[in-house]
Structure 1
């Protein structure tokens, strides 16, 4: 099980999304092959769907095993030229932060969790 906690669910362009996750393996003998946290945007609605990962932070599997059940902190930057969250009648543009842990095997089993965030324009105060 992966527990994902974010400091904020709304973030302005060019600011980092900061959070942490904790991994509690269902099977203590199961060793991950790779792990990463990433932030991506995706579209839904009419027309073709699109998805783009804009920032990623890999985590060494050895570190994940050594410190399991302890929080892993992360910080991922939202680029200044990234699209804003949009919720219209014909399509939506959504953002998510996702943690993915991949295990060895023929079908590459994964444990994942994600949270939607809202990306907004930066306002100078």
Structure 2
């Protein structure tokens, strides 16, 4: 009579969780599990390489943007008075901004650029 061996199966990390167990398993099923695990590890390695390539490209882009003066937008909390002045400027300068909606980042950036260039009317200045 042929018996199915009991083996310890241990996998370091699959989607962030370790797996382990003592199981009765046929050689065929054991080979299938090992093949699937190798495929998983290969895919994980491929993904890690793609993520590294993406991160390297992003770092290079950020350095280039910084060199030419393009910086991350900081979402600062603005007072109702400041928001009203930005809306007033935006509406006078061809930007559609509703009275109670969020001011788009591009409009805020355009306002900041106009302010830095000294192009604001006295009643638009923060």
The TM-score range, normalised by the shorter chain, is under 0.3
TM-score for the superposition, normalised by structure 1: 0.22
Q: Which has the larger radius of gyration?
A: 2
Higher relative strand content: 1
TM-score for the superposition, normalised by structure 2: 0.22
Bigger RCO (CA 8 Å, 6+ sep): 1
Higher relative helix content: 2
